[in-house]
A and B are shown apart, each in its own frame.
Chain A
Amino acid sequence: MTAAYEANVVLASKTYDVIGTRPIRHDGADKVTGRAKYGADFQTADLLYAKILRSPHSHARIKSIDTSRAETFPGIRAVVTAQDWPVGSGGEGPIQLGELTTDLKYLRDNIMASDKVLFKGHPIAGVAAINAHVAEEALNLIEVEYDVLPAVLTAPEAMQQGAPLIQEDLKTEEFGEKIDKASNVAEHFQHKQGDLDQGFAEADIVVEREFDTATVHQGYIEPHNCTVQWNKDGRLHVWNSTQGPFEVRDATAKVLGLSASEIKLTPMEIGGGFGGKFEPYGEPIAALLSRKTGKPVKVVMTRMEEFESTGPTSGAHLKLKMGATKDGQITAAYAHLAYEAGAYPGSPVSAGAMCVFAAYDISNIVIDGFDVLVNKTKSAAYRAPGATQAAMATETVVDELAEQIGLDPIELRLRNAAREGTRRADGVVFPRIGCVEVLQAMKDHPHYKEPLTGPNRGRGVAVGYWMNGGNQSSVNISIHSDGTINLIEGSPDIGGSRASISMQAAEVLGIAAEDVHPAVVDTDSIGSTGGTGGSSVTFKAGWAAHEAAHDVKRQMIERAAIIWEVSSDSVELHKGTFKSKTDPGLSMTFKELAAQLDETGGPIMGRGTVNPSGAGGAYAGNIVDVEVDPETGKVDILRFTVIQDAGKAIHPSYVEGQMQGGSVQGIGWALNEEYFMDDVGRMTNSTLLDYRMPIALDLPMIDTVIVEVANPGHPFGVRGVGEVNIASPPAAIANAIYKAQGIRMNVLPMNPAAIMEAIWRQQK
Chain B
Amino acid sequence: MKRVLMAAVMLGASMPVFATAPGGPGCGWGNMLFEGQSGLPIHLVATIVNGTSGNKTFGMTSGTNGCSTSGALAYDGESMLAMNGMVEEVAQDMATGEGDALTALSVSMGIAEQDRARFQQVMHENFATVFPSDDVTAADVMNNIVTVMKQDRELATYVG
The answer on A and B forming one complex is no
Q: List chain B positions with a Cβ less than 8 A from chain A.
A: none
Q: List chain A positions with a Cβ less than 8 A from chain B.
A: none
